Structure 1
Amino acid sequence: MPYDATLVGQSTEPIRHEVDARWIMSYAAGLNDCNPAYLGTDRAKVVAHPLFPVCLEWPTILSSRHMPGYDTLTPAEAARSVHAAHDLHILRPIAEGETLTTQATVTGMEAIKPGVAVTTRLDTRSAEGELVARTWQLGIARGVALNGTGRASEPPPPRPSLPSPWRQPQRLPIPVAANAAHVYTECARIWNPIHTDRRVALEAGLPDIILHGTATLALAVSRLVDEFLDGEPGRVRRIGGHFRAMVLMPSTIVLEVLGQSADILFFQVLTASGEPAISQGFLSYGGA
């Protein structure tokens, strides 16, 4: 059945989250990231990993599937939707003890060769209404038609591009354990069976369970923070990239830092076979 273009402009109800130190520490531990900023409860407050907003966004993404226009899809069609690109803007770090709300708004739909491209804006706000993080997420519903004219109610911000790559990229290997997806699922509270249930993954046409795209991105961000930002995650302002090849487990992925322009690092992540798992990656940052 076709996707309905009347989804554009619709928003979910805000979903409330209580962010405690345990959740922040669990997310970092799920990435094997022992940065004291995430784990040091002897400090005034622990702060969340820069990619932690994906934990808050997941329930809202699930909620968006109940909006009028989405319900035209069959369960099988909905299961073929993939997370294609991510662009997270961090207004300030998230700290323990905060009450936050996250809301999704569909801002664009377009018929493309594989199916329908859907752009969603995800806003996370403080209890006082302050915008804390905003993500522009691109999803592709494969093998689905679009009912109505494709349109955008709000264009996503332009992405930075690398003006001049380094002659020799910096390569940083990252081991991915056999149970990485299971651990990430529980620590992030992002439950999607293709990452943990082999039967479901095989029925979906996958070769095996696969690592979450956001886990792959978060592993890369952890290394970038350690190697280039002196271990200070509060300096991260924006993270983006396109999700490509699947990451199987166990394996070793490779973070390739391709270049740097002012306050932006450009990178890609390669699978064990050398295919890009994340392409057009970038991380912008501020001062200490």
Structure 2
Amino acid sequence: MANKLNSSFVGRKSRILTVDISPREAMKYSAGIYESNPVFYDDRVHPLLVHPMYAVALTWKISSRFDEYWDTAEFPLDVLERQVHYLEELRWFQPLYVGETLQIQGEVKAIVPHLSGTLFWIDYTAKNRKDEIVFIEGLGALLRDIPCDDEGKGKDLFFRNVKIDRQSEKTLWEENIIIQPMDSYIYDACSDIHFPIHTSWVFSQKVGLSAPVYQGTATLSQAIRKIFEHGFNPSQKRIEYLYARFSSFVYGGDILTIRVFKDESNINDNKLYFEIKTPRNDYAIKNGIIVFGG
């Protein structure tokens, strides 16, 4: 553990990535999470709607080439080997469609100390050719066993969604999500989100894990798939906001349980909460929030 991090990198921005949304890549993403709704595949409809979670595959094109898209002067790149997904926040301002060209730029918004290492937050902002914001992804990572040698900046980003009052919640439904042993490899191939912690036994054990783990964004995407199946038609009810805290690892072969509930004290019927439990009786996802628009 030779490397440390500090908050001097907060405010640093990436180079801009220009990317076209192709039908093949968009459909592959949907297939990789077993999404069967034809609205994401029937290209007789123009423009073809893209699964909203495909946003994470687009931003990964920057994250995965950190030394190419970021000014890495004095940044200890080795610390990125220790990263695990900690928080995900997505805000969509309009739907994603095949054929769009987006420009995406990242900005480091927070670096703060944590008992298990350092928390690291990047905002990715995607704009279309009209310079309109299409989505903003807030990606929170935990750099395991990497110390932060100052008090940090941006701590509030990690604690801004307060848990709802348990006395006012009402469970709407529960359902299982089966993670097959090969699903992390399928998601890796279909999303083009490749990080060896999800596919390599050697690398996973090198960083202190017992086995490759299923991707956090894949678990989250499967949760969205289940919610779509329970009466939220993606062509009519657009997701505007999504938040989730990743709490424990998911492994191939796990049978997860998603529970979706609402806050009865909140009159907004388009706001739901969810959590996902593993067979080890801990939470893969906690404090899940999803807000639908028109």
For residues 275 and 42 of structure 2, what CA distance do their matches in structure 1 show? 30
Find 1:162's aligned residue among 161, 164, 169.
Answer: 164
Tell whether the 8 Å contact from 1:12 to 1:103 is kept in structure 2 after alignment: yes
For residues 205 and 131 of structure 1, what CA distance do their matches in structure 2 show? 39
Tell whether the 8 Å contact from 1:5 to 1:69 is kept in structure 2 after alignment: no
**Alpha-carbon distance change, 153 to 204 in structure 1, aligned in 2, over 3 angstroms:** closer
**Alpha-carbon distance change, 203 to 115 in structure 1, aligned in 2, over 3 angstroms:** closer
Is 2:236 the counterpart of 1:236? no
**Alpha-carbon distance change, 165 to 63 in structure 1, aligned in 2, over 3 angstroms:** same
| 1:127-173 C-alpha deviation (Å, 9 max, x unpaired) | 2321100012211222222244522399589436434211x452111
1:121 aligned residue: 123
**Alpha-carbon distance change, 153 to 249 in structure 1, aligned in 2, over 3 angstroms:** closer
How far is 1:72 from its partner? 4.0
Is 2:278 the counterpart of 1:271? yes
RMSD across aligned C-alpha pairs, in angstroms? 2.3
Unaligned runs of 5+ in 2: none
113-122 or 95-104: bigger deviation: 113-122
Which residue identity is paired with 2:194? W
TM-score, with structure 2 as normaliser: 0.89
1:282 aligned residue: 289
58-67 or 179-188: bigger deviation: 58-67
For residues 98 and 107 of structure 2, what CA distance do their matches in structure 1 show? 26
TM-score, with structure 1 as normaliser: 0.91
How far is 1:114 from its partner? 1.8
For residues 14 and 155 of structure 2, what CA distance do their matches in structure 1 show? 16
**Alpha-carbon distance change, 211 to 147 in structure 1, aligned in 2, over 3 angstroms:** same
Is 2:216 the counterpart of 1:176? no
Q: Matched residue of 1:268: which SS?
A: strand
How far is 1:4 from its partner? 3.2
Tell whether the 8 Å contact from 2:14 to 2:71 is kept in structure 1 after alignment: no
2:13 aligned residue: 11
Which residue identity is paired with 1:108? A
Q: How does 1:1-288 map to 2 (within 5 A)?
A: 1-64=3-66, 67-68=70-71, 71-73=74-76, 75=78, 77-152=79-154, 158-159=160-161, 161-163=163-165, 164-166=168-170, 168=171, 170-232=173-235, 234-260=237-263, 261=266, 262=268, 263-287=270-294
| 1:244-282 C-alpha deviation (Å, 9 max, x unpaired) | 111111222111113254121100011122211000001
For residues 106 and 15 of structure 1, what CA distance do their matches in structure 2 show? 16
For residues 96 and 159 of structure 2, what CA distance do their matches in structure 1 show? 22
230-239 or 12-21: bigger deviation: 230-239
Q: Matched residue of 1:60: which SS?
A: helix
- After the TM superposition, list the runs of 4 or more consecutive aligned residues in structure 1 that deviate by more than 6 angstroms: none
